[in-house]
Amino acid sequence: MSSTEIIIIGSGIGGLSCGALLAHYGLEVTVCESHSIPGGAAHSFQRDGFIFDSGPSLYSGLSYSPSPNPLKQVLDAIGEPLPCLNYDTWGCYLPEGNFHTSVGAEQFGDILQQIRGKDAVQEWRKLQQVMKPLAEASIALPPAAIRFDWNAVVTVSKFAPELLRKSSQVLKLIGPFSHIADEVISDPFIHHWLDLLCFLLSGLPATGTSAAEMAFMFADWYRPGVVLDYPVGGSGALVDALVRGLTKNGGKLQLNAHVKQILVKNNRAMGVQLRNGDSLRASGAVISNASVWDTLKLLPLDSVSQQWRRQKQQTPPCGSFLHLHLGIDGKNLPSDLPCHHIVVNDWEKGIQSPQNVVLVSIPSLLDPSLAPPGKQTIHVYTPGNEPYHLWSQIKGNSEAYQQQKEQRSQVMWQALERIIPDIRERISVALVGTPLTHERFLRRYQGTYGPAIEAGKAFFPGPNTPIQGLWCCGDSTFPGIGLPAVAASGMMLANTIASVEQHLHLLKRLS
């Protein structure tokens, strides 16, 4: 049996952030990834010269340091630059009409003036005032300072005076964002808009999204001179940067290495057994970056109490996705076509309603290297609102599957036709993805976006498990599904495993 100090199950952004930092701290790390491509939900793949993002395309806070974005903090910590292209505008296709909007405080006020009038503008300005101190509070303690043991007293102490000054605001960050929005906003459109932003952040409306997540977003999106980022080379470039961070310090990434079981002896995680029969021993720790439901499948039946297992199994999942990955002829597209677009069909159906919200990303408009000359790469998806149960009984190779794919993908084609009317005549490559694709290629239970844990009703569990030496990171552990949150989860766990001296040294370097 070969051995290492730390085994990480999964090379999602959470696992890679953790692994790259642990390798930076001098630990011997092996990441076992089931897929042939690293990156999990953020991997990219190629077809016929087009480079596609499988998932994320919205990034911010990556172009400057020190940044409140934990992902940027990880990249800075491991010394891996990630060149980004910048933009500030995206297209909206809403029941109220179509418009382009920008990040930053001012321009959305102009849109509101046009579609809702001056009272709505005043309410928006009031919300910004209310959010300003909350936004400052949300970034008063950098995630890089947090660790999950008593030494946190030492690493957080430098930030304590600032935190104390903001303590009244910090308490408000604990509940759902709707508590704050409801006090200030009566305009129905602004409520819908905020629900949309919350949904894109957490997979839940304002009633379930934590105020801290939204405050963090306000801190990032409404600062002066704000721009959004897109990594040169797409999401694969981010994955490559983290993999470089891992391997340059001696860490290993094993692809096609599906973990079948976590080996547990006397309530201690000893290593993993792979599907190909190999075993790998861990002298320090085993870290699962797989989702909570997928991690449970890896635990021997008698290794944890039935009660703990049941409780974890009952974590509610967000819905799944439909995807269209298209390679198209880019001739005569409008010169001001933004890279990103949001389509909402009907606010009254509710923001989580299936087939209601469609996102479109055309990243090759920013980075032409993602498509052959004269072509464009498009990713359309319904974000976390496709019910898994509609697909769970269908066989992936059946006629019924093809028919359902054809039928349920129409909403994405129709959304795209509002942006590029002759889209169907431009196609070179068209791939439709479903919850079954998601489940299979991302190795995610029910193809879910992540846990639907409602702010104010339950807490994300953090990295601990009842088994010694077994930790978790990724979107099942830390609030705010998305790259900043999963990077934070990986970074905080790596800092917990490192010595307090190493951690303090890192903090000094980052500041």
Ligand X SMILES: Cc1cc2nc3c(=O)[nH]c(=O)nc-3n(C[C@H](O)[C@H](O)[C@H](O)COP(=O)(O)OP(=O)(O)OC[C@H]3O[C@@H](n4cnc5c(N)ncnc54)[C@H](O)[C@@H]3O)c2cc1C
- Interface residues with ligand X (CB under 6 A)? 9-15, 32-35, 40-42, 55-58, 258-259, 289-290, 294, 298, 321, 381, 442-444, 450, 474-475, 481-483, 486
Give me the phi and psi of 106, to 5 degrees please.
-80, -50
b/e burial code for range 295-326 (CB count within 10 A of at least 16 → b) = bbebbeeebbeeeeeeebeebebbbbbbbbbb
User: What is the smallest separation between the CB atom of 482 and ligand X, expressed in angstroms?
Assistant: 3
Query: For 157-242, where are the E strands, in sequence order?
Result: 228-231
In the complex with ligand X, the residue whose CB is nearer, 71 or 185, is 71
- The minimum distance between CB 182 and ligand X, in angstroms, equals 26
The amino acid that residue 54 corresponds to is S
Q: Which is nearer to ligand X, 120 or 298 (CB)?
A: 298
Q: Mapped to the 3 state alphabet, what secondary structure does 439-477 carry?
A: HHHCCCHHHCCCECCCCCCCCCCCCCCCCECEEECCCCC
The DSSP annotation for 243-274 comes to HHHHHTTT-EEESS--EEEEEEETTEEEEEEE
Contacts 24+ apart (CB under 8 A), 45-49: 47/325, 47/327, 47/429, 47/431, 48/327, 48/372, 48/428, 48/429, 49/327, 49/371, 49/372, 49/375
Min dist. Cβ of residue 53 to ligand X (A) = 8
Judged by beta carbon, residue 151 or residue 353, the one nearer ligand X is 353
Which CB, 394 or 486, lies closer to ligand X?
486
What is the nearest approach in angstroms of ligand X to the Cβ of residue 180?
A: 22
Q: Smallest gap, in angstroms, from Cβ of residue 483 to ligand X? A: 4
The tokens describing 161, both together, are 């005076």
Nearer to ligand X, 187 or 229 (CB): 229
CB of 3 to ligand X, least distance (A): 18
DSSP structure class, residue 9? E
C-alpha distance across the termini of the chain, in Å: 42
Q: Around 290, how many Cα atoms within 13 Å sit in the side-chain half-sphere?
A: 28
- Residue with Cβ nearer ligand X (116 or 444): 444
How big, in percent rounded to 5, are the helix, strand and coil portions of the chain?
A: 40, 25, 35
Query: Which is nearer to ligand X, 158 or 440 (by Cβ)?
Result: 440
- Give the tokens for residue 93: 């296709």
Judged by beta carbon, residue 112 or residue 296, the one nearer ligand X is 296
Q: For ligand X, which is the closer residue by CB, 161 or 396?
A: 396
Longest dimension (CA), the chain: 70
> Least CB distance from residue 241 to ligand X, whole Å?
14
Nearer to ligand X, 15 or 124 (CB): 15
At 27 the three-state DSSP class reads coil
Least distance in angstroms from the C-beta of 110 to ligand X:
25
Kindly state the tokens that stand for 456.
Answer: 């104010």
| Residue with tokens 């051995």, as numbered in its chain | 3
Half-sphere exposure of 56 (CA within 13 A, CB side): 25
| Nearest-approach distance from CB 381 to ligand X, in angstroms | 5
Distances (CA, A) of 112 to 59, 90, 108, 109, 220: 24, 16, 6, 5, 21
User: Cβ of residue 332: shortest distance to ligand X, in angstroms?
Assistant: 28
Shortest distance (Å) from residue 153 CB to ligand X: 28
Cβ proximity to ligand X: between 408 and 443 the closer is: 443
| Residue type present at position 249 | N
